[in-house]
């Protein structure tokens, strides 16, 4: 049997006044997602435990069938795995965003979707600044998403489970002072953040941005710290081979940690302009080679972070048309199959950030007896008697013989 999981990141939301009291899922035209509901079941579950921060690191770990309360150590170590950065005992990885802070306010957590080549230049400045320090090492990633590694080298790290940081996308258009790092190791993190302000102030990279009339990177923001996680391999856990299609390092890293193949798709950007159709084509091709494929699309989440309801609806419709529809049709041709659609967490247009709360999921295929529902949205899922107590139970259910 073949299996597919399609993740429209952060697509679950609240009713919107400007959408006539509908959620983006209710307002969007989603014939292919609705077809899965009609031919199968719809339900709801919470992918993020209440005690954990509602991020994609936690939510996608749940969707991949791993209990984040057991396996999660932090977001940055997962992204380090994506870049092939090995963490030794005592080492810590820390997410390093390039951000725009003006007059003490977080104006942009993405630095205006900063080009990777310019971002690499700023990261190189940080590396040169710390070249005499045996512990700190910066690594360039994609666009505004970069990493800082603390190498213990036999010494005790300054961080503990009590070190507290916040993702910058949680404080968009808010003062940064109440959200700066706190607890063990926060002094070191704040010092690095402060040093970046001076390093970036008159950089060539920022001058290039200014000439284009776009936002400068005023500093780094450090968050998401953690040590190396120990993950059980996916194939030994579920008895199936898997592959992951994504433009985001977080999911690439999770795939590598559990031994799934990472499929790189030309034109996949991790933003609203991603090549949806290419992701659909690559998913179908990959299904010829593995038992299970994951297609993750970041665009819906990015639209919420920008507070753009129309962009979120457009992204949902592109996912439905170019990924869900073609992948479902291909699965039917292949024989026995099951397909699942679920976001990793809600991302609210109102707050422009991630949220706790139930997400709607839908699945159909071989051995799944249809219920009476016909539309894929939060309201329909909320009325369904099908509820899983935790998000990490969803994939074992999909792989089981239960109907």
pLDDT digits over 161-197, tens only? 999 999 998 899 999 999 999 999 999 999 999 999 9
Residues in the chain: 403
Domain closes at, from 196, 211, 226: 226
Kindly state whether residue 78 falls inside one of the protein's structural domains. no
The C-alpha R_g of the chain, in whole angstroms, comes to: 21
170 secondary structure, DSSP code? G
150 secondary structure, DSSP code? E
Question: What is the domain range of residue 277?
Answer: 2-72+229-399
Question: Are the C-beta atoms of residues 252 and 64 closer than 8 Å to each other?
Answer: no
What is the mean pLDDT of the segment spanning 357-381?
97
Residue bearing tokens 């753009």: 308
Q: Which of 197-206, 313-322, 368-377 comes out lowest in average pLDDT?
A: 197-206
pLDDT digits over 199-234, tens only? 999 899 888 888 888 888 999 999 999 999 999 999
CA atoms within 13 A on the CB side of 157: 23
Give Cβ neighbours of residue 37 (< 8 Å, ≥ 6 apart).
Answer: 362, 364, 373, 374, 375, 376, 380
| CA nearest to 304, candidates 4, 6, 13, 34 | 13
Kindly state whether residue 22 falls inside one of the protein's structural domains. yes
Does residue 136 carry a pLDDT above 70?
Answer: yes
| CA nearest to 74, candidates 9, 167, 156, 11 | 167
What is the mean pLDDT of the segment spanning 238-263?
96
> Which pLDDT band holds residue 112 (cuts at 50, 70, 90)?
low
Average predicted confidence (pLDDT) for the chain = 95
Tally of domains within the chain:
2
Q: What is the pLDDT of residue 215?
A: 85
260 secondary structure, DSSP code? P
Domain closes at, from 203, 226, 249: 226
d(CA 329, CA 182): 50
Q: Kindly report the pTM of this predicted structure.
A: 0.88
Distance (Å) of CA 284 to CA 70, 278, 321? 33, 10, 14
> Which pLDDT band holds residue 86 (cuts at 50, 70, 90)?
very high
Does residue 294 carry a pLDDT above 80?
Answer: yes
Together in a domain, 234 and 133:
no
Q: What is the pLDDT of residue 210?
A: 80
Q: What is the pLDDT of residue 90?
A: 94
Together in a domain, 211 and 322:
no
Q: What region, left, alpha or beta, does residue 65 occupy, with left being phi > 0 and alpha being psi -120 to 50 degrees?
A: left
Together in a domain, 326 and 181:
no
Q: What is the pLDDT of residue 51?
A: 93
Domain closes at, from 173, 200, 226: 226
Does residue 116 carry a pLDDT above 90?
Answer: no
What is the mean pLDDT of the segment spanning 71-77?
95
3-class secondary structure, 67:
coil
What is the share, in percent, of the chain residues with pLDDT greater than 70? 99
Together in a domain, 292 and 371:
yes
Q: What is the pLDDT of residue 113?
A: 67
Together in a domain, 297 and 176:
no
pLDDT digits over 12-63, tens only? 999 999 999 999 999 999 999 999 999 999 999 999 999 999 999 999 999 9
Together in a domain, 49 and 65:
yes
Q: Which of 125-134, 340-349, 387-396 comes out lowest in average pLDDT?
A: 125-134
What is the mean pLDDT of the segment spanning 68-77?
96
Does residue 156 carry a pLDDT above 60?
Answer: yes
Token output for 306: 């920008």
Q: What is the pLDDT of residue 110?
A: 81
Together in a domain, 234 and 381:
yes
> Which pLDDT band holds residue 143 (cuts at 50, 70, 90)?
confident
Together in a domain, 391 and 270:
yes
Residue bearing tokens 């008697």: 385
Kindly state whether residue 80 falls inside one of the protein's structural domains. no
d(CA 390, CA 384): 16
3-class secondary structure, 343:
coil
Together in a domain, 209 and 255:
no
Token output for 271: 């933003």
Does residue 309 carry a pLDDT above 70?
Answer: yes
Q: What is the pLDDT of residue 211?
A: 84
d(CA 156, CA 206): 36
């Amino acid at each position: 049997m073949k299996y597919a999981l399609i993740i429209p990141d952060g697509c679950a939301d609240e009713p919107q006044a400007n959408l006539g009291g509908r959620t983006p899922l209710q307002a969007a035209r989603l014939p292919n997602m609705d077809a899965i509901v009609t031919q199968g079941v719809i339900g709801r579950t919470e992918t993020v435990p209440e005690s954990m921060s509602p991020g994609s690191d936690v939510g996608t770990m749940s969707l991949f069938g791993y209990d984040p309360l057991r396996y999660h150590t932090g977001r940055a170590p997962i992204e380090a795995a994506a870049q092939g950065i090995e963490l030794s005992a005592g080492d810590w990885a820390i997410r390093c965003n390039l951000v725009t802070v003006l007059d003490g306010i977080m104006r942009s957590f993405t630095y205006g979707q900063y080009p990777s080549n310019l971002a690499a230049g700023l990261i190189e400045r940080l590396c040169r600044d710390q070249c005499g320090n045996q512990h700190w090492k910066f690594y360039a990633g994609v666009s505004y998403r970069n990493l800082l590694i603390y190498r213990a080298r036999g010494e005790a790290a300054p961080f503990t489970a009590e070190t507290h940081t916040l993702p910058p996308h949680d404080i968009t258009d808010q003062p940064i002072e109440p959200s700066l790092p706190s607890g063990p190791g926060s002094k070191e993190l704040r010092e690095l953040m402060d040093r970046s302000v001076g390093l970036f102030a008159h950089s060539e990279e920022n001058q290039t941005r200014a000439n284009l009339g776009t936002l400068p990177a005023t500093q780094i923001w450090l968050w998401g710290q953690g040590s190396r996680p120990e993950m059980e391999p996916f194939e030994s856990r579920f008895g199936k081979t898997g592959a992951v299609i994504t433009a985001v390092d977080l999911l690439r890293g999770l795939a590598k940690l559990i031994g799934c193949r990472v499929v790189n798709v030309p034109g996949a950007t991790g933003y609203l302009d991603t090549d949806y159709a290419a992701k659909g084509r690559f998913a179908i091709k990959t299904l010829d080679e593995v038992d299970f494929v994951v297609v993750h699309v970041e665009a819906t989440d990015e639209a919420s972070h920008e507070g753009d309801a129309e962009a979120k609806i457009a992204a949902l419709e592109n996912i439905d048309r170019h990924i869900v529809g073609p992948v479902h049709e291909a699965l039917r041709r292949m024989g026995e199959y099951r397909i699942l659609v679920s976001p990793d967490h809600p991302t609210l247009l109102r707050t422009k950030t991630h949220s706790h709360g139930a997400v709607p999921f839908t699945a159909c295929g071989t051995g799944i007896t249809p219920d009476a529902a016909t539309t894929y949205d939060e309201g329909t899922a909320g009325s369904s008697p099908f509820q899983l107590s935790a998000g990490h139970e969803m994939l074992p259910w999909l792989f089981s013989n239960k109907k």
